[in-house]
Structure formats: structure tokens, C-alpha cells
Amino acid sequence: MDVLNYEINDHVALVTLNRPEARNSLNPELIVALAEVWDQIKEDQQVRVAVITGAGESTFCSGFDLGTTIPVITGARNPQNEVEELIAADRELLRRATLAGHDIDKPLIAAVNGHAIAGGMELLLSCDLRVVGQGVKLGLSEVALGLIPGMGGTALLRRHLPGALAMEMLLRAQPIISDELGNSGLFNRLVPAGDVLTEALELANSIAVNAPLAVQAARRVVRHSADLGEAEALVLESDVGAVLAQSEDAKEGPLAFMEKRAPRFEGR
């Protein structure tokens, strides 16, 4: 059985963590597969939006596998196969897999159909939009294990949650039920767990019908301007918009509107 499933339909890529028997924990094989699939999505012009979810009904992702990945990266035991040697030799693989400091340049939606703990929570934070199931646990448990969330959790959580709430999640290492975070701004939709993937795919398809270069440009400006002052952010917006205006899609959109037809965007 493949530890990662990948499919594309109508410009939407669906990435499924496929280790339900292990709560979709990130073992070395899954880490390498994730790092590879993000590169594939970034380069594939047919993909306009990506969705990530977990197989099974209980857990989206429980983080790095405590029996394999964690002992290897802490040096508690030596690598026992080629894949373990890869993650031991290249810690950047872990960051690429969880998109910590890495960007696929396209919208990424988390379909959180079950609990998201530790690295699973960090994977959720790396996404642009989030559809989360009611009653699922969200948390960062690393300090209870003598570690810190090292794939973006410690650095990024405060950007998504109020300071006191983010600090509580980090320091108590206790999960918070998704329903309690419904008004926090952490996610876009809070729906019954069985509806999560359907809602996420509907959201993805509503984005995928838009001009892909424009979607990518708007996303880029939002992400890159987060730490800029207003004047710098406006300059960035102007520069990106000027380049986009020269694209074929920028001509096709207004033309289709005037001709009262659906636009045919080609990403050029």
C-alpha cells in the first residue's frame, strides 16, 4: 500500500496521507514522498490548486512517527534503511515535507478530517486555507516530549491565533477541540467531519476556475507583504500587477466578460 496517494482532477491536486493504521504519522517513507509531491505540484502547470487530507476517519495527521522518524532525527538510534539514511543526512527533507519555509507557489487547502497534532498541526498551518471537522483535536505536543515544534509551529502559530491562545497551545502541549476555535480565524470552514473533503474540494474548484496566474500573483502579494510596511506592500502589489497585466489571461478575462462567455484561461 502506498503511504501517499496523489490524483489530479480539473486542475485540482488531491494529496492523501495514507497511513491510517498509524494515525497518518509521518514516517521516513511518507516524508520523502511528501517532499517529492510538493515539487511535482509546483512544477506541474496543470495543477492550479492543491488539497491535502488524511486517510481514515480519526486523524488528519499525528505528526512525525515516534517509532521511526523521531529516534532517527534525535540520534537515539542509527538509520536502519536507505530512506532513514536520507532523512538523517538531510534534515531539510522534513522541512520540505511539511512546507516549513518552502512554498509550492499555488493555493494549498487543508482538509482536516480528523485530529491534527504536532507535525500534523504544523502541516495545517502551512496551508493557505483550512476546512476543519467539528470535534477534532488540534494541538502541538512537542514540549511534552522534550522538543519544540520545529517545522513552523513555534514560529508561525502566533500569526494565526491570538497571542495568549497560541502560547497556551504551545506550552501546555494539550490539544484544543476545533469547535472552541471556531471564531479564532484559524480556519475557513468548520463542518461535520464527514463533509470536510467535499467542502475542501468545492473550495478548491471555485478557485481553480479563476485565472491561475492572477490567483498565484494575489497569493504571492498577500504572503510576501505580511511583514512589510504599507508603502512597501503597495509597491509590491503595483509591481506584481504590472507584470500580470501583460499576460494573455489578463486580456482574455475582460474580453470574455464583454462577450458574455466563460473565460478560457491558459495560465499564460
Torsions phi, psi for 8 (to 5 deg): -125, 130
- Structural domain boundaries of the chain? 4-208, 212-258
Low-confidence residues of the chain, pLDDT below 50?
Answer: none
pLDDT at 1 (0 to 100): 65
Chain centroid, CA 125 distance in Å: 7
Report strand pairing: 59-61 vs 49-54.
unpaired
b/e 15-29 (16+ beta carbons within 10 angstroms → b)? bbbbbbebbbbbbbb
Give every CB contact of residue 215 below 8 A, 6+ residues apart in sequence: 48, 49, 106, 107, 207
Q: Is this prediction's pTM over 0.85?
A: yes
Report, as residue numbers or ranges, the catalytic residues. 122, 142
pLDDT at 36 (0 to 100): 95
Each residue of 79-98: pLDDT tens digit? 788 888 888 888 889 999 99
Each residue of 17-57: pLDDT tens digit? 999 999 999 999 999 999 999 999 999 999 999 999 999 98
The answer to whether the CB of 99 falls within 8 A of the CB of 126 is yes
pLDDT at 77 (0 to 100): 82
CATH for 4-208?
Answer: 3.90.226.10
